[in-house]
Amino acid sequence: MLKKVVFTNSVITIIKMKNKLIIVLLTTFLLKPITGSSCTMYKITKNGKTLVGNNEDFLSPNNQFWFEVAGDKEFGVMYMGLLDNFAQGAINEAGLVFDGFAMPELPITNTEGKTKISIGKAIKNIMRTMSTVEEVKSYLENINLSSLSSSMVVFVDKSGRYLIVEGDQLIIGEESEKSFSNFYYSQIQSVEDVSLPWFQAGQEFLNTTKGEATLDYCSNAMKSMKQKSSDLFSTQYSTIYDLTSLKIRVYLYQDFTEYVELDLIKELQKENHRMMMVDLFPKESLGSKFYYKYNDVNNPVLFLQEQLNPEAYSEEELIKMEFNDTINILGYEWLNDKNNSDTAIKVFQYGISLMPNDYDLYDSLGEAYFDNKDWNNSIRNYAKSLTLNPENENAIKQLLKCKEAKNRLEIDNR
Q: What is the pLDDT of residues 30-89, one digit of tens each?
A: 344 444 567 999 999 999 999 999 999 999 999 999 999 998 889 999 999 999 988 999
The reported pLDDT for the residue numbered 9 is 37
Pairing of strands 13-17, 162-166: unpaired
Of the two residues 230 and 324, the one the predictor is more confident about is 324
Q: What is the model's pLDDT at position 414?
A: 67
Is it the case that residue 243 has pLDDT exceeding 90?
Answer: yes
Kindly report the average pLDDT of the chain as a whole number.
Answer: 90
- From residue 352, alpha-carbon distances to 80, 347, 355, 360 in Å are 33, 9, 5, 10
Q: What is the sign of the dihedral through the CA atoms of 219, 223, 224 and 225?
A: positive
- Statement: residue 11 has pLDDT above 70: no
β-strand 20-24 against 247-252: which pairing, if any? unpaired
* Residue 8 reports pLDDT greater than 60: no
CA distances in angstroms from 321 to 21, 232, 326, 365, listed in the order given: 20, 11, 9, 20
- Percent of residues, the chain, with pLDDT higher than 90: 82
| pLDDT score for 408 | 84
Domains of the chain are 4-291 (3.60.60.10), 302-412 (1.25.40.10)
Report percent pLDDT > 70 for the chain.
Answer: 90
* Residue 326 host element (H or E): helix 323-332
pLDDT tens, residue by residue, 250-263: 999 999 999 999 99
Phi, psi of 13 (to 5 degrees): -115, 105
Q: Which of 47, 28, 43, 158 is nearest to 95 (CA)?
A: 158
The rounded distance, in Å, linking the Cα atoms of 194 and 239 is: 23
Question: Looking at residue 72, what is its pLDDT?
Answer: 87
| Contact status, residue 239 vs residue 231, Cβ threshold 8 Å | no
In DSSP terms, which residues pair with 276 in a beta bridge? Answer: 64
Helix ranges (DSSP H) in 333-414? 341-354, 359-371, 375-388, 393-412
Q: What is the pLDDT of residues 89-139, one digit of tens each?
A: 999 999 999 999 988 899 999 999 999 999 999 999 999 999 999 999 999
pLDDT band with cut points at 50, 70 and 90 for residue 406: confident
